[in-house]
Amino acid sequence: MAPSMRDVQLTEVAGDGAGEEVRLLDSYDEEEEKLGDNLRRIQVRVTGMTCAACSNSVEGALMSINGVVKATVALLQNKADVIFDPSLVKDDEITNAIEDAGFEAELLSEPTASRTNPHGTVVGQFIIGGMTCAACVNSVEGILKQLPGVRKAVVALATSLGEVEYDPSIISKDDIASAIEDAGFEASFVQSSEQDKIVLGVVGISGEMDAQLLEGILSKLHGVKHFLFDRVSNELEVVFDPEVLGPRSLVDGVEGGSSGKFKLLVKNPYTRMASRDLEESSKMFRLFTASLSLSVPVILMRVVCPQIPLLYALLIWQCGPFQMGDWLKWALVTVVQFGIGKRFYVAAGRALRNGSTNMDVLVALGTTASYVYSVCALLYGAISGFWSPTYFETSAMLITFVLLGKYLETLAKGKTSGAIKKLVELAPATAILLVKDKGGKVVGEREIDALLIQAGDILKVLPGTKVPMDGVVVWGSSHVNESMVTGESAPVLKEINSVVIGGTINLHGSLHIQATKVGSNTVLSQIISLVETAQMSKAPIQKFADYIASIFVPVVVTMSLLTFFGWYVAGVLGGYPEEWLPENGNYFVFSLMFAISVVVIACPCALGLATPTAVMVATGVGANNGVLIKGGDALEMAQKIRYVIFDKTGTLTQGKAKVTTAKVFTEMDRGEFLTLVASAEASSEHPLAKAIMEYARHFHFFDEPSDNGGFQSYSEQAKFSGWLQDVSDFSVLPGKGVQCSIDGKWVLIGNRKLLTENGIAIPSNVENFVVELEESAKTGILVARDNVVIGALGIADPLKREAAVVVEGLIKMGVQPIMVTGDNWRTARAVAKEVGIHDVRAEVLPAGKAEVIRSFQKGGSVVAMVGDGINDSPALAAADVGMAIGAGTDIAIEAAEYVLMRSNLEDVITAIDLSRKTFARIRWNYIFAMAYNVIAIPVAAGVFFPLLRLELPPWVAGACMAMSSVSVVCSSLYLKRYKKPRLTTILLEITIE
Residues acting as catalytic residues: 647
Phi, psi of 594 (to 5 degrees): -65, -45
CB 251 within 8 A of CB 264: yes
What are the residues whose beta carbons fall under 8 Å from the beta carbon of 730, sequence distance 6 or more?
680, 683, 738, 739, 740
Q: What span, in angstroms and rounded, lies between the C-alpha atoms of 719 and 703?
A: 16
CB 734 within 8 A of CB 30: yes
Q: What span, in angstroms and rounded, lies between the C-alpha atoms of 153 and 177?
A: 13
> In sequence order, what are the beta bridge partners of 789?
784
CA-derived radius of gyration, the chain: 35
What are the residues whose beta carbons fall under 8 Å from the beta carbon of 185, sequence distance 6 or more?
128, 129, 130, 131, 136, 140, 347, 350
CB 780 within 8 A of CB 884: no
What are the residues whose beta carbons fall under 8 Å from the beta carbon of 108, sequence distance 6 or more?
42, 43, 44, 45, 79, 118
Q: Identify the CA nearest to 451 among candidates 502, 513, 510.
A: 502
Q: What span, in angstroms and rounded, lies between the C-alpha atoms of 746 and 726?
A: 13
Q: Identify the CA nearest to 959 among candidates 364, 335, 404.
A: 404
Alpha helices in 538-628 (DSSP H): 540-572, 587-601, 610-624
Phi, psi of 868 (to 5 degrees): -140, -15
Q: What span, in angstroms and rounded, lies between the C-alpha atoms of 11 and 845?
A: 26
Residue type, 781: I
DSSP-derived letter for residue 466 is B
Residue type, 852: V
CB 24 within 8 A of CB 543: no
Q: What span, in angstroms and rounded, lies between the C-alpha atoms of 106 and 888?
A: 31
Residues making up the chain, counted from first to last: 993
Distances from the Cα of 840 to the Cα of 644, 670, 822, 884, angstroms? 12, 37, 11, 20
CB 285 within 8 A of CB 277: no
Q: What span, in angstroms and rounded, lies between the C-alpha atoms of 48 and 60?
A: 16
Q: What angle do CA 861, 887, 538 make, to 5 degrees?
A: 50
CB 69 within 8 A of CB 651: no
Q: What span, in angstroms and rounded, lies between the C-alpha atoms of 19 and 902?
A: 13
Q: What span, in angstroms and rounded, lies between the C-alpha atoms of 573 and 60?
A: 66
Query: 243-259 burial string, b = 16+ CB within 10 Å, else e?
Result: eebbbbbbbebbbebbe
Q: What span, in angstroms and rounded, lies between the C-alpha atoms of 153 and 47?
A: 13
DSSP-derived letter for residue 976 is G
Alpha helices in 385-471 (DSSP H): 392-416, 418-426
Largest CA distance in the chain: 125
Measured distance between the N- and C-terminal CA atoms of the chain, rounded to whole angstroms: 40
Q: What span, in angstroms and rounded, lies between the C-alpha atoms of 229 and 237?
A: 6
Phi, psi of 817 (to 5 degrees): -85, 145
